[in-house]
Amino acid sequence: MRLSKNRKRITSNVDMTPMIDIVFQLILFFLVSTTFAILPGIKLNLPESTTAEGTSMKGITITAEANGSLYFNEKEVNMKTLKAELVKYDTGDTKKIEFPISLEADSEVKNGTIVKLFDVIRESGYAVINLRTTSKK
């Protein structure tokens, strides 16, 4: 007795359309319900730039006001304590050299102060520095 080789095999297919729909709905839900980073509440007159680009707010924010005040995130510091704060800051799994720092300086802050801030940041082991500006209209 011979069995024929031309047997019809039963194949099953899983329809992926409903799963894809649910994944898209979950993505939309998380995008809508996500809370966004709140910037420190320090009033600055940021300089304007026509080539300004958006950056992520993850990381450290250093703020320099026109009156000479300095802030590490929301904590008021001076040049000496800024370096200590930068050194002891926990960057998690990211290396310090790759960890982003946003520098917000009032448009009235002197160039010398910004250069000193860059020196302190680099001496602390950080290399990624973003200068915050506002878009020119």
Residue 53 inside a domain? The answer is yes
Residue 36 inside a domain? The answer is no
Residue 52 inside a domain? The answer is yes
d(CA 83, CA 30): 37
Q: What is the CATH number of the domain that holds 125?
A: 3.30.420
Q: For the segment 71-87, what is each residue's pLDDT rounded down to a tens digit? A: 998 889 988 899 898 88
Q: What is the span of the domain harbouring residue 129?
A: 48-135
| pLDDT-derived band at 19, boundaries 50, 70, 90 | very high
Number of structural domains the chain divides into: 1
Q: For the segment 86-117, what is each residue's pLDDT rounded down to a tens digit? A: 888 888 888 888 888 888 888 888 888 888 99
Structure-model confidence comparison of residues 64 and 135, the more confident one: 64
Residue 136's pLDDT is 62
Residue 3 inside a domain? The answer is no
What is the percent of the chain where pLDDT is above 90?
12
Residue 94 inside a domain? The answer is yes
Residue 41's pLDDT is 54
- Strand positions, DSSP E, the chain: 48-49, 60-64, 70-72, 75-77, 100-105, 128-131, 134-135
pTM of the model: 0.57
